[in-house]
Every structure is written in structure tokens, then in C-alpha cells.
Structure 1
Amino acid sequence: MLRIGYGLLYLVFLLREFPHRDEIWGPGSPWTPALARELFDQTGWNSILTLSDSRAYFELCYALALATSALFALGWRTRVLSVLFAVVVISFHARAIFMTDGGDNLVLLMAIYLAFTACGRRWSLDARRVRLRAARTEAPAQLVKRPVLRQLRESRATLTTVVHNCGMFVIAVQVCFLYGSAGLFKVQGASWGAGTALHFVLNLRLFQPWPALSHLVDQHTILIAVAGYMTVLLQVAFPFVLFGRLKYPVLAMLLGMHLGIAVLMGLPLFSGAMIIADAAFLPDRFYTSLPYLWQRVALRAGVGQPEPSPAARAGSVPAQVRPTTGSLKSPSAGT
């Protein structure tokens, strides 16, 4: 889900800024490649966009960035594409570092973390290729007879599992720190304690894509105060509710909060990045039940096929590639 989500999100972001690409990242930007390279010498950042000042080179890099984001979301050659996707995000982020916001920062971190996960094991072209290859194989694969080769395969599977789980753990910790620190920072503010913070936010011209809608919402003072207190409470409590059923209503309320931020404040990239990050905390059974829920909705609407059996539901998510010996547990499907 993280792979599909962030791949599509960055693809939409690049397509949205396609008419303005030269002013933001290209040779025609006020922040010229020479100024960017001078800043890189001080900060240690780097970008493939500053390797040449040629417009043709920039257009080629932009086309490759679009292709990389699309293929990463589709899960084609994910091990290589995950690294290329991280390079693309880092390069575009560093090239126009003064035009970024919280959403860009989160996508940058997640792109780096996903490079260490086995995020192409499910719902990907890689998984489809493995299934088709297994279907074409008439006889089952023979076990490796040489002990050295067998041990190397087992070691590789173990290393992949460990690195994947560590990557998922870092992603979860990153989101917890983000919510917790944001909530604790708000607690220190007098406006959040008085319940007036969202009132001031709704009246900032910089974050008013639809001023009439912002003023309409701002008229409900009690609702605004309650929403402000709930925002602080949800963010502070988020790291402490992840191990129980209470996390589901909390995630649902956070979804509503981020949708409100996207609409009222005009920050769709930030909201999308946070919603996708929250999806990492949903269990596998939630995703395996999605086809079943879709069948139920279609059946009630009078279209579609009958509901699948429990056995069919269990196989609704493509099986992962498992070690030859079958003795090791494959990485989680959380990504």
C-alpha cells in the first residue's frame, strides 16, 4: 500500500506541476542550478537535475521521473525501481528545497525507507510475473542439492526478511514521532489551549484555496474549538493506541482531519502523504477483506458476482515468494 500510494502520489504531483516544471526545477527557475550547487556545497544535498544546465537534459530527467513513479506504483522490478524512486524524490526535493512543505519531507523519508523493504511482494507486476512463471512450470521446483547453495538461499531469505521488518519498524516509528511531536508542540501553544488556533489558521490568506468555504466553517466557533482539542488529543494519543482496537476509530478520525486539511488549507500533498502513512498500521486481514467487501457492495447494488467463499477470500491477495525450504516466514504484506 505504501508503494502504490507514494508512487501514485508523486506521479500526480509531477503531472500537476508539469506546466510549471521549468520555473520550479528547470533551467528557467529563479533558483538557478548554479545557486543550487552552491547551496549543496554547504548542506551536503545533491541532485541529478544540477548535473547539466541543458533544457533537453532536464526534460529527459522529468520524463524519467514520471516513468519511475508510475512503474514503482505498478511494482515492476521493484528492487531496482525503489532505489531509483528514492533518487528521483531526493533530486527534485533538493533542487527546489525552498518550495517544499511537510508533505515533501514525509514523501522523501518514506521513499528512502521503502528502498529497504520488500514492497513488491504483493499487488505488483513482480508478483504477477512470479505467479505466471509458477503456473507455466509443470513440475514442482526441485530442492537445491548442494548444501552451500541451499544455505546461501536461506541466508538471503533471512536477510531480506530482517531488512524488510526493520524498514517497516522505522516507518512506524517515524509516523509515531511525527504525530507525537506535533501534538506535544501544540500543547505548548496558548492558542491551542484556548481553542482558537484553527480560527487563526482558517483566516490565513496563504492557506485559503476557497476563502468563502473557510469563512463559512469559521462561523461555527464551538465546532472549531472542539476540532482543535480533538486534533491535539489524537496526535498525542496516537503512539499509545496502536496495540489495541482503539486505533481504528483514531485512524478514521485522522483520515477526516487530513481530508479537512487538504480541502480547507489547500495542502493535498501533505494530507495524501499522511493518509498513506497511516495505512501502514492497518493489519493484513483488512486488505484481504477488501475484495469480499467490494463483492458485498456490488451484490447489494444488484451488480457483480455472488460473494466469494472463505477459501477464495483467503487467496484474494497474491501469494508471496517464499524460500525454497519453506522454513522461513516471508516479509509482512504491510507495504
Structure 2
Amino acid sequence: MTTWWRGLVGSVQGLRAGIDDWLVGTRHAVRAAAVCRIATGLAVLGLLASNFSTRDMWVGQGSVWAEPARAISSFPELTLLDGVSSDVLTLLYVVTMLAALAFVLGWHAKAANVVTFIGFIAVVGQNPVVGSPGDNLVRLTLLWLLLMRASDHWSLDAARRSRRLAAGKEASREEDALPTWLSAGLHNVGLVALGAQTVLAAMAAGLDKVADRSWQQGTALYSTLQLPESRPFPALSDLLADHRVLLALLTYGVLLSQLFFGPLLLNRYTRRLVIVLAVVVNVLLAVVFAQPWSALSTLGVTLLFVSDRTWERVEDVVLGAAQPVTDWTVERGYDVLDGVDVVRYNVVLPVVDWVRFTILRR
């Protein structure tokens, strides 16, 4: 009994040590977090940019038609822009778009994350009528990304850090603000929370669909394809609506990618299958059903489950394929600089000297 108890205690201690090492030892999925940052920022930027011309109608002074929905809503963000002028709304709208662009590029990503998060809630939350589950996913993703180091790769921040290290300079104030173990711990907590949120959101969406009679009867997607706002490419919509097999496959693909998203992640092979299926389904939803920004935000958190090893291989392939283009661009850039030097020494400087010695000395 004593030996058994010691073995159990040793196993528990080993498990705890392993969890502690995973949690605070190093940051995990940093490339996947960068992909999530880019996709989420693009979703916010695309949503706001595509609706910029109608901002007064859906969130500004022209959105009085949504007052009944605001009156019964208890969300506090409704008061953030209550009664503001069109100029103030436009200013906040543009600032949020610029912050989202900075977030995509990874330029001062933490500050950009905060501004994007607040601005997105303030703008999109003004009209509960036009909101969608994708908006809630975006705001939760932005919240958890605040804890994560999403700009360690594929960002201007990472490029700046690399230049500082190459120049032998010390780390920036931002990097020294927290000890390594705490920074890694916060990142990994945010990663786990965002992953759990993604699984729960997918399964909840799947359960909601199977409880709907239109999904049970297989008519949900067909009915959506008949709506004018869901037909960006009418010929493609008609093609899909007229082929029952394709429509059935897409229906089952949506349900399987949501209902069984969590369980299928537990195995390496089924994980690849469900991620590919989710990517295909969201691309189709973006193209066929005119939901690009919602699909992009969903893709961002879905690709969070792709390992960094895979993203490294993708990075190598992309860089290898892009190298001829980048080499050609650099060579043309040098040619342009050579041309500028020729013009400078053969045209600009002689003219300057002629003006100095001929005209100014008179």
C-alpha cells in the first residue's frame, strides 16, 4: 500500500511539474497566434471598411430605426457612442480601422490590440439588429489576444526586435516589462482560453443548428441561397442550389465541422481532417454566402490549432516560392537607385552648380 501510494504521489508530482513546465517554460503556438492576429485584424478592418459609406445608417445618427432593439438591450456598450455627432463617430471609426491595420502589420501590436478591441465594441455594439455571432467571436478573440504574444512572428514588432538584437542593443522596455516566466504563462493561458472558447463556440453553433427544423430537413442553406443579400455571385448560388448532392455535402460539412470540432482535435490525423474541413466550409461560406469577414474571423481561431512545426514548413515554402520575386524586386530597386544616381550626378548637380556660379554670383 505504501509503495502504491508513493507511486501515485510521484506520478501526480511529475504531472504537476510537466504542467508547470508547459505553462511557464516557453510560449507555445506563437506562429499560430500570429496567424490569428492577422486574420482577426483583417476581419475587423474589412468589416469596417466595407461599411464605411453607410456608417451613419447602421451605427450613427441615421440608425434611429434600431432604437426599439437598443431599448430592450442590456449591453453597456450601447452607451459608448450614444448621441455623438457624425464627426466624432467618423473619427472613432477611422481610428479603429487604423488600429486594426496596425494590428495586422504587428506594429505596436499590444496598443493596437487595445484600441481595436475598444473601438470594435464601441462601433459594432451600437446596433444589435445587424450584429452576428461572428462579432462576438471577434471581440472575445481580441480579448484573449491581449494576453498573448501574437506579434513574435510575422510582424513589424518582430522585425524591430531582430534589428535591435542584430545591432547588439538591449531589449525594449516592452520586452523587459514582465519576467519571462510570467510573459510565457500569460501567453499560454490566453492560448488555452482562446482554444477552449473556439471549441465551445463551434459545438454550440452545431447544436443550435441541429435543433433547428430547417437544418433537420436540409433546407437551411437552400433558403439562405435565395436571399438577395446572400447571393454575391448569382450563377454560383444557382449552381449550388440546383445540385442537391453538393448542397447536402456542404450541409453535412458545416454540421460535422462544428459539432465534432472538439473531439476530432484529440487525434493527430482527425485534427488535420477537421481543420481542412473547417477551412473549406468557411471559404465556401465567404464566397457563396457573402460572409467574408465572419468566415475570416472563424478561420483565424480555427488555424490556431495548426502546429508551429507546420507553420514553419509553410513559411519555408512561401519564402522559397517568393524568393525569385523578392530577388527581382531588390535588383530592380538597385537599378532604380543607380538611375537616380545617374540623374543626380549628370543632371541635378550640374544644374545646381550652374545656378550657383552663374546666376547667384551676378
Correspondent of 1:17 among 37, 51, 55:
51
Q: How do residues 1-335 of structure 1 correspond to structure 2 at under 5 angstroms?
A: 1-31=35-65, 35=67, 39=71, 42-46=74-78, 48-50=80-82, 53-137=84-168, 156-243=179-266, 244-295=268-319, 297=321
Deviations for 1:35-61, whole angstroms, at most 9, x for unmatched residues? 5997498433355433x6223222221
Structure 1 residues 88 and 47 mapped into 2: Cα distance closer, same or farther (>3 Å)?
Answer: farther
Please say if residues 196 and 225 of structure 1, whose CA atoms lie closer than 8 Å, have aligned partners that are also in contact: no
Deviation at 1:169, TM superposition (A): 0.9
Deviations for 1:191-236, whole angstroms, at most 9, x for unmatched residues? 5445444333333455333444322212211232233233322322
Deviation at 1:278, TM superposition (A): 0.9
Please say if residues 82 and 111 of structure 1, whose CA atoms lie closer than 8 Å, have aligned partners that are also in contact: yes
Please say if residues 285 and 292 of structure 2, whose CA atoms lie closer than 8 Å, have aligned partners that are also in contact: yes
Structure 1 residues 290 and 203 mapped into 2: Cα distance closer, same or farther (>3 Å)?
Answer: same
User: Which has the higher mean CA deviation after the structures are superposed, 69-78 or 289-298?
Assistant: 289-298
Deviations for 1:53-97, whole angstroms, at most 9, x for unmatched residues? 223222221221121111111222222222221101111121122
Please say if residues 100 and 113 of structure 2, whose CA atoms lie closer than 8 Å, have aligned partners that are also in contact: no
Tell me how far apart the structure 2 counterparts of residues 40 and 199 of structure 1 sit (CA, whole Å): 32
Tell me how far apart the structure 2 counterparts of residues 206 and 79 of structure 1 sit (CA, whole Å): 36
Letter in 2 for 1:162: G
Deviations for 1:131-181, whole angstroms, at most 9, x for unmatched residues? 11112227x89xxxxxxxxxxx79732222212111111111111112212
Tell me how far apart the structure 2 counterparts of residues 201 and 28 of structure 1 sit (CA, whole Å): 28
Secondary structure in 2 matching 1:98: coil
User: Which has the higher mean CA deviation after the structures are superposed, 71-80 or 167-176?
Assistant: 71-80
Letter in 2 for 1:179: A
**TM-score computed with the length of structure 2 as normaliser:** 0.70
Secondary structure in 2 matching 1:245: helix
Q: Percent identity?
A: 28
Secondary structure in 1 matching 2:64: coil
Please say if residues 148 and 188 of structure 2, whose CA atoms lie closer than 8 Å, have aligned partners that are also in contact: yes
Secondary structure in 2 matching 1:45: helix
Please say if residues 14 and 66 of structure 1, whose CA atoms lie closer than 8 Å, have aligned partners that are also in contact: yes
Tell me how far apart the structure 2 counterparts of residues 154 and 53 of structure 1 sit (CA, whole Å): 37
Q: Which structure would you say has the larger Rg? A: 2
Tell me how far apart the structure 1 counterparts of residues 212 and 188 of structure 2 sit (CA, whole Å): 37
Structure 1 residues 77 and 230 mapped into 2: Cα distance closer, same or farther (>3 Å)?
Answer: closer
Please say if residues 47 and 94 of structure 1, whose CA atoms lie closer than 8 Å, have aligned partners that are also in contact: no
Deviation at 1:280, TM superposition (A): 0.5
Structure 1 residues 192 and 129 mapped into 2: Cα distance closer, same or farther (>3 Å)?
Answer: same
Tell me how far apart the structure 2 counterparts of residues 238 and 38 of structure 1 sit (CA, whole Å): 34
How many residues were matched structurally?
A: 288
Tell me how far apart the structure 2 counterparts of residues 199 and 31 of structure 1 sit (CA, whole Å): 30
Please say if residues 43 and 294 of structure 2, whose CA atoms lie closer than 8 Å, have aligned partners that are also in contact: no
Higher helix share: 2
Tell me how far apart the structure 1 counterparts of residues 69 and 212 of structure 2 sit (CA, whole Å): 38
Please say if residues 186 and 232 of structure 1, whose CA atoms lie closer than 8 Å, have aligned partners that are also in contact: yes
**TM-score computed with the length of structure 1 as normaliser:** 0.76
Please say if residues 47 and 90 of structure 1, whose CA atoms lie closer than 8 Å, have aligned partners that are also in contact: no
Structure 1 residues 20 and 304 mapped into 2: Cα distance closer, same or farther (>3 Å)?
Answer: closer
Deviation at 1:295, TM superposition (A): 4.9
CA RMSD for the aligned pairs?
Answer: 2.9
